[in-house]
Amino acid sequence: MKLDIMGLQFDNVTMDEAAARAEEILAGEKTCYAVTPNAEIAYEALHDEKLRALLNGADLVLPDGAGVVLASKLLKTPLKQKVAGVDFADRLLSILEKTGGGLFLLGSKPGIAELAAQKMLEKHPELHICGMNDGYFRDEAPVIEKINAAKPDVLFVCLGAPKQELFMKNHLDELHVRLMIGLGGSLDSFAGTVKRAPKWMIRCNLEWLYRLIKEPKRFGRMLRLPKYLFAVLGKRIRG
């Protein structure tokens, strides 16, 4: 079931339900794309109709972050839980390991995808990573060709928002994959070049604070979180 949270149609699913949806998609014929908006992107989408359409056009819209889940509660249409993109990606690795499907890693600075692949294989030794490409390319055509030649079932698109959403939507018909998913900086996280917050901070919904302390230059971007919640409160008060 979809829930409208400030104009974005989120799938109201638990992590297990999201994984089941992915398995259905992988068993199907269609090329699907998934997005994982957090509060920062949701705030941008409030004022950007094109971005909203890009996100709502996805087959799976997962709430990546405590901010969106809090907004859903404030609006009295609560989402079941946060389904962080990087955690969902990890579930996809387990699914692919089981089914034997191929994975292509696209994005991040040169060398990062290789490092991420190494770390993924340490945890999922049976995983078939069939190709990778960094995210700093000028021509898209050779990259699309390279992806198709590798014949992946799943494509991780880690170019940051909204570049990754545009890439997926624009090339939906050309890319011969089952499921592609926009995952922002997740390859950096898999590679270990950007560490995730300690478990207690994730549990207390303080992952954003951890990232802010580690990367203070994100401060400007992160101001979108309180601005988003302010807009949510405004909507709740106006009804």
Percentage helix, strand, coil for the chain under 3-state DSSP, each rounded to 5: 50, 15, 35
Q: Which stretch binds ligand UDP (CB under 6 A): 87-95, 123-131, 147-155, 185-193?
A: 185-193
Residue 136, both tokens: 């700093």
Rule CB under 6 A: say whether 184 interacts with ligand UDP. yes
Interface of this chain with ligand UDP, residues 123 to 182, rule: CB under 6 A: 135-136, 158-161, 163
Interface of this chain with ligand UDP, residues 36 to 65, rule: CB under 6 A: none
Number of residues located near ligand UDP, criterion CB under 6 A: 14
Amino acid identity for residue 220 in this structure? G
Give residue for tokens 């590679």: 191
In angstroms, the CA 141 to CA 143 distance is: 5
Identity of the residue, 54 or 187, whose beta carbon is nearer to ligand UDP in the bound complex:
187
**Between the CA of residue 105 and those of 54, 83, 96, 199, 201, what are the distances in Å?**
21, 20, 13, 26, 28
In angstroms, the CA 117 to CA 99 distance is: 18
Length reported for the chain: 239
In angstroms, the CA 40 to CA 19 distance is: 24
Q: Which stretch binds ligand UDP (CB under 6 A): 17-25, 54-62, 102-110, 140-148?
A: 102-110
Residue 30, both tokens: 């269609």
Identity of the residue, 57 or 160, whose beta carbon is nearer to ligand UDP in the bound complex:
160
Q: Which stretch binds ligand UDP (CB under 6 A): 13-21, 103-111, 120-128, 148-156?
A: 103-111
Identity of the residue, 31 or 108, whose beta carbon is nearer to ligand UDP in the bound complex:
108
Q: Which stretch binds ligand UDP (CB under 6 A): 45-53, 69-77, 105-113, 122-130?
A: 105-113
Identity of the residue, 91 or 163, whose beta carbon is nearer to ligand UDP in the bound complex:
163
- Tell me how far, at minimum, the Cβ of 24 lies from ligand UDP, in Å: 25
Residue of 181, 185, 208, 222 interacting with ligand UDP (CB under 6 A)? 185
Residue 13, both tokens: 């699913």
Burial group, residue 1, by CB count within 10 angstroms (0-12, 13-18, 19+): exposed
- Tell me how far, at minimum, the Cβ of 188 lies from ligand UDP, in Å: 5
Residues ≥6 apart with Cβ < 8 Å to 217: none
- Tell me how far, at minimum, the Cβ of 53 lies from ligand UDP, in Å: 19
User: For binding to ligand UDP (CB under 6 A), which residues are involved?
Assistant: 107-109, 135-136, 158-161, 163, 184-185, 187-188
